[in-house]
A and B are shown apart, each in its own frame.
Chain A
């Protein structure tokens, strides 16, 4: 079954993905802003948010190194390169567009006149967001978060570039698979890790579906 090393890799993977998901509130805020019809420069913002989808992940890792590495622009204040928080940050940047997209779909599905109705009953902008928009978008946000969590467990390029492949610190499942494949005869170990990775991702997707159904019933 799972060796202590496997368990360590699994733990690192889950912790990194969970930390990356801390980006969710920012994704919700950005998604809500993008779903406002009167947002100035919406197309430009939309493009910026989706950059990580089209850029090579290795480039994201490189850019993070340039910004937050030891020699980076902000490296003097925060140096996250080759740390677990760095791995989480690289992962967060990669899953950010995915989160924004699914959260935004949920906001877009809300009849904007419901927010008008709330305004006419005395609710200010923040009040409308927390009392109407957020609760109505909640099922989609939840499902998007779980899907993003599953995707976060598979991030590779940006993570290995920015946070390297340090066992127990930044070595997540895909990085561990990469490492065993570098060694002769590592295929068996690679298979075990691959199956583990696959079942985690699959469990995540099923969880997303179930959560969404449950939340839909409540709304």
Chain B
């Protein structure tokens, strides 16, 4: 369990955060300028200053190289004057001998054993991300911080990277703290969620409860309004991927009768839990399905035409390409 009490000023910006992150995966979510990067740097010890941070009841050393926590940067930041293997060895040599993992094991896990002799300059984006993760893992940190880890990846590569992170968490029992401005990434991995705005925590708690809380929902742009749905409830292209998927309200259609002869593969049965009018004059329909809550964004005309009202049974359709 991580306890952080941080009070840090940087020009006009004031980061004043008290947060806890239990074992597992915590996502720190916030729009740009909310102080995510500053918070991450403070946790890592790279931004000296106000606050106390403790991990499992033990106060952390103020110096970053003595904290025993790992940090995976957005762009990997592999050392360009070393080979892939030398990058891993760099971490191994400086790690606590009683904790560190053997390089061969880690390289095998991340499927980079064949890259060890290569220069880091010619790696692909996906390889680079895996090597950066492997380098951090070799030191067996007590907590791993990840800064927007998927932003350089897209599509299938992003999915397989999320898959690796999930498996890594299970295999090495490593607690992770992921900083992101993409709700999809938070939904994919996090069990605990912290919402940040203007340097303050606006919502914090178990992911499922926090993500649907009114305070947290103010952090999402209209475009991102939606809900996390267990991936097992969905039919999607390709295997693997995250445990939960963020389904946007804009990607959900409603039908009052069970649709047949339709290309959409994801059809969930549910009932209407509420209808709220949004600022943009559109209506947000909350659905209760057996797999959890979903939202659909509809126009007033559509709601009138279908005579939608609370309690009514409906079918929700989710386009697979939106997942």
Contacts and interface: CB of A to CB of B under 8 A. Distances in A.
Contacts of B63: 124
Interface string B46-85: 1000000000000000011111011101000101110000
Contact of B135 (A121, A123, A136): A121
A122 B80 contact: no
26 contacts: A113-B77, A114-B77, A116-B44, A116-B64, A116-B71, A116-B73, A117-B73, A117-B77, A118-B90, A119-B45, A119-B46, A119-B64, A119-B65, A120-B44, A120-B67, A120-B71, A121-B65, A121-B135, A122-B65, A123-B65, A124-B63, A132-B79, A136-B80, A218-B81, A219-B80, A219-B81
Contacts of B71: 116-117, 120
Contacts of B94: 121-123, 127
B95 interface: yes
A21 to B, nearest CB: 24
Contacts of B139: 121-122
A121 B77 contact: no
Given A120-B44, A120-B70, A121-B91, A114 B79 contact: yes
A167 interface: no
Contacts of B67: 120
Interface in B224-271: none
Nearest to A119: B64
A187 B35 CA distance: 71
Count chain B CB atoms within 10 A of each CB in A117, A118, A123, A135 and give the residue with the most.
Answer: A117
B77 A111 contact: yes
Contacts of B69: 120
In order of increasing CB-CB distance, the 9 nearest A-B pairs are A122-B94, A119-B64, A117-B77, A120-B71, A121-B91, A119-B65, A219-B81, A135-B81, A124-B65
A136 B95 CA distance: 23
A199 interface: no
B89 to A, nearest CB: 11
Contacts of A71: none
Interface residues of A, number: 19
Contacts of A119: 45-46, 64-65
B305 to A, nearest CB: 55
A219 B77 CA distance: 15
A118 B44 CA distance: 12
B95 A122 contact: yes
B179 to A, nearest CB: 14
Interface of A: 111, 113-114, 116-124, 127, 131-132, 135-136, 218-219
Interface residues of B, number: 23
B46 A116 contact: yes
A118 to B, nearest CB: 7
Contacts of A113: 73, 77
Contacts of B44: 116, 120
Contacts of A136: 80-81
Contacts of A111: 77
A122 B64 CA distance: 8
A197 to B, nearest CB: 37
Count chain B CB atoms within 10 A of each CB in A113, A121, A124, A135 and give the residue with the most.
Answer: A121
Contacts of B73: 113, 116-117
B123 to A, nearest CB: 16
Contacts of A120: 44, 46, 64-65, 67, 69-71, 136
B91 to A, nearest CB: 4
Contacts of A121: 65, 70, 90-91, 94-95, 135-136, 139
Given A117-B77, A120-B65, A136-B81, 7 more contacts: A116-B77, A117-B71, A118-B79, A121-B95, A122-B94, A123-B65, A131-B90
Nearest to B67: A120
B141 to A, nearest CB: 8
A121 B135 CA distance: 8
Contacts of A122: 65-66, 91, 94-95, 139
A109 B44 CA distance: 24
Nearest to A38: B48
A135 B90 CA distance: 14
Nearest to B71: A120
Contacts of B46: 116, 119-120
Interface in B88-111: 90-91, 94-95
A55 B122 CA distance: 48
B68 to A, nearest CB: 8
B261 to A, nearest CB: 55
Contacts of A123: 65, 90, 94
